[in-house]
Amino acid sequence: MSVEIITKEDLQHFRLQLLNDINDLLNTKKDIQKEWLKGAEVRQLLKVSQGTLQNLRTGGRLSYSKIGGTYYYRHQDIIKLLENSREAFR
């Protein structure tokens, strides 16, 4: 039976590799798009006022969910709104 001796250098190498892996995971998570956005986030994203967002909602152009007093919008529905509002190149 052979015995492996772990040196301080081995532990340092393992530590650095582990920290790099954790950092990669954290950076990957930042790239994942949020599925549901609050009204303020949507207004900032579309650069529209609260009234315009309300008009999109009440006009049926943008789907939403309401929990309590907070409106939530799916990111996919915002993309669909932008696609449907796109004008052809003339």
User: How confident is the model over 30-83, as pLDDT tens digits?
Assistant: 555 678 999 999 999 999 999 999 999 999 999 999 999 999 999 999 999 998
Record the tokens describing residue 20, joined without a space.
């790099």
Record the tokens describing residue 48, joined without a space.
């529209």
Record the tokens describing residue 30, joined without a space.
């930042």
Angle CA(82)–CA(85)–CA(88) in degrees, nearest 5? 115
Record the tokens describing residue 36, joined without a space.
């549901």
- Residue 2 host element (H or E): none
pTM over 0.75: no
Domain spans of the chain, in order of start: 36-84
Alpha-carbon 10 to chain mean position: 37
